[in-house]
């Protein structure tokens, strides 16, 4: 007889929604391969605060993705970055 998982160990569906606040595409040069690449960034808001999704695609490497939880101040900094400073959250 197979063991049944305890009800508290099961994944529960989350209620609530996630809202896209802003997204942008940043042309860049990959530091390792020196090939042109594109970074995509998207700021979301959910019931817990802000999430920043980062995605970088280089032709010669696998896609790099990151997901960061941001405080309100950090989200405002990201939203107001000057064009030459965009991509600073990759560091």
Looking at the domain assignment, is residue 88 inside a domain?
Answer: no
Nearest to 20 by CA among 36, 5, 42: 42
Domain that holds residue 58: 18-82
How many beta carbons lie within 10 A of that of residue 48, not counting itself?
Answer: 9
Nearest to 43 by CA among 54, 35, 51: 51
Looking at the domain assignment, is residue 68 inside a domain?
Answer: yes
The total number of structural domains in the chain stands at 1
Looking at the domain assignment, is residue 62 inside a domain?
Answer: yes
Looking at the domain assignment, is residue 8 inside a domain?
Answer: no
Structure tokens belonging to residue 45: 């808001």
Per-residue pLDDT of the chain (91 residues; tens, 9 = 90+): 444 444 454 444 555 688 999 999 988 877 777 888 888 999 999 999 999 999 988 777 788 899 999 999 999 999 998 888 887 777 6
User: Got the DSSP string for 57-84?
Assistant: E-TTS--EEEEEEE-HHHHHHHHT--GG
Looking at the domain assignment, is residue 48 inside a domain?
Answer: yes
Looking at the domain assignment, is residue 4 inside a domain?
Answer: no
Looking at the domain assignment, is residue 7 inside a domain?
Answer: no
pLDDT at residue 41, rounded to an integer: 92
Looking at the domain assignment, is residue 5 inside a domain?
Answer: no
- pTM attached to this predicted model: 0.72
Residues 6+ apart with CB under 8 A from 90: 39, 54, 56, 66
């Amino acid at each position: 007889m197979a063991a049944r998982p305890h009800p508290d160990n099961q994944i529960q569906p989350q209620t609530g929604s996630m809202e896209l606040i802003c997204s942008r595409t940043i042309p860049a040069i990959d530091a390792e391969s020196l090939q042109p690449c594109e970074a995509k960034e998207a700021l979301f808001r959910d019931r817990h605060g802000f999430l920043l999704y980062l995605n970088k695609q280089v032709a010669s490497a696998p896609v790099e993705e990151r997901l960061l939880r941001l405080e309100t101040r950090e989200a405002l900094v990201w939203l107001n970055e000057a064009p030459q400073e965009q991509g600073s959250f990759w560091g």
